[in-house]
Amino acid sequence: MWALIWGAVAASSLVIGAVLGVVRKWNDRVIGAVLGFGAGALMSSVSFELVADGLSVAGGLPVALGLAAGALAFYLGDKGVERLGGRSGKTAAGMPLLLGALLDGIPEQAVLGIGLAAGKGVSVALLVAIFVSNLPEAIGSSADMRSAGTKARTIILGWSIVAVVCTLAAVAGYGVSALVGDPFAGAVDGFAAGALLVMLVSSMIPEATQKAGKAAALVAVLGFAVAAGLSAAG
């Protein structure tokens, strides 16, 4: 139940972003700055939440294998989305955009469930990082879809479906982690970390820099610092 609740809280920003993207036009620099902050926060969560926890419960080898598997899985999935037009850098409406968001969101959300299954409660730092990083993606994609002529109701419905699937990913992460031993749990942490790192380097950070310029780097450090502080406080 808690995995479902916290997963829904994190995924709700996808729907909020979709609504914001439909109702008004947003400056690219603002979107880029929010992306940069979210990227920094996610980097902190990968370092202090995923990799650190995985090493503590399973050791280096399972985490390393998980990192490699997660990175490869996201890379191949991302290539598939790119072929559909979802990562082309051009205005694209419809399913490719939603697939891209789904690909980004599943490993993020699964990590929330993994932490809950380990008895550590919800990671506030990771929750904030996911919530913030979802907003600009949903805002930008929804604005593009609206400009391409997609109805507002269809856009919001599509993003709501993505949010539901991402919420269920948190529940799945909880279930998998609760059923397996520590070595596999460490590998799952590594898998999520590898997927997130490839996503950050291949799409989130470049997009933040493209939209906000060099200021994105400063905002990313701020996001890293905030998330690191939240991790330490938790």
- 228 in Cβ contact with 126 (< 8 Å): no
- 11 in Cβ contact with 168 (< 8 Å): no
pTM exceeds 0.85, yes or no:
no
Mean pLDDT of 127-145: 80
Look at 148 and 171; give whichever has higher pLDDT: 171
Work out the mean pLDDT of the chain and round it to a whole number: 82
Phi, psi dihedral angles at 122 (to 5 degrees): -75, 140
Beta strand ranges found along the chain (DSSP E): none
Judged by average pLDDT, the poorest of 60-74, 98-112, 125-139, 201-215 is 98-112
- Amino acid present at 226: V
Tens digit of each residue's pLDDT (9 = 90 or more) over 63-119: 999 999 989 988 888 887 777 665 544 434 445 556 667 777 787 788 788 778 767
Q: Radius of gyration (Cα) for the chain, nearest Å?
A: 17
Burial of 6 (0-12, 13-18, 19+ CB in 10 A): buried
Judged by average pLDDT, the poorest of 84-98, 126-140, 177-191, 206-220 is 84-98
